[in-house]
Amino acid sequence: MLAVTDWTTISAFATGAGTLVLAVATFSSVRSANRSARTAERSLLANLRPFLMHARPADPVEKIMWVDEHWASVGGGRAVVDRGDAATYLAMPLRNAGSGLAVLHGWRVDPRRRTTDAAHASPDDLRALHGGRPDPADFHRQSRDLYVPSGDTGFWQAAVRGGNGDDALRTALDESIRLRWVFTIDLLYSDSEGGQRTISRFSMSPKGDEAWVCSVTQHWNLDRDDPR
């Protein structure tokens, strides 16, 4: 007996196979498009990403002023640490080693030296180390907009005036300055779009009898994974 060809069944199988092939092709295309989009996004973010470092000794000196018309010169690798009657004035020369504009948002001063070297850390330093990166909620906002162009230099400035809960901070900071102890400054900044927020930690170290120098010690990424 001759077998009867079931064209309906064959057609259904052919349609199913074609649909499966189309689905696989669509899935592969979507994955490829997603990879391309992620690559393009990473490339765009890399072009906007700032990365603050301490300035070089050969970098230019800039004259800066605080809101109460206190003046100082910052640059040449030297930091400003001035104790006045109204406030303690701080400033650091900065260099942006990243490819995007750095927009400074806030600062945090610790009168103590903070280290990430657990083998040589004090008990207080170890507590800070184990606590991870600083909390952005602990930062003071900048009272003026500060920017550091890509591949160029700029500066950070602030004043610890006491009041508003800062009396203890100013007292402890002035004591560290008087005794010529190393203390810590954390800066919070972002790219020009407000993203890729970063915290960079700087050590303020005495040099000679009066001068101070700053050096970057650690970076934390807030909006993406840290590189370590």
pLDDT for the residue 123: 52
Q: Is the pLDDT of residue 125 over 90?
A: no
Mean pLDDT of 14-25: 76
Question: Is residue 81 exposed (0-12), middle (13-18) or buried (19+ Cβ within 10 Å)?
Answer: buried
Q: Is the pLDDT of residue 153 over 90?
A: yes
Asked if 53 contacts 42 with a C-beta cutoff of 8 angstroms, the reply is no
Mean pLDDT of 31-39: 62
Residues 6+ apart with CB under 8 A from 150: 50, 96, 98, 99, 100, 101, 102
Question: Is residue 92 exposed (0-12), middle (13-18) or buried (19+ Cβ within 10 Å)?
Answer: buried
The 10s digit of each residue's pLDDT in 67-87 is 999 999 998 889 999 999 889
Mean pLDDT of 210-221: 94
Asked if 160 contacts 173 with a C-beta cutoff of 8 angstroms, the reply is yes
Q: How far apart are CA 195 and CA 198, in angstroms?
A: 9
pLDDT for the residue 75: 87
Question: Is residue 189 exposed (0-12), middle (13-18) or buried (19+ Cβ within 10 Å)?
Answer: buried
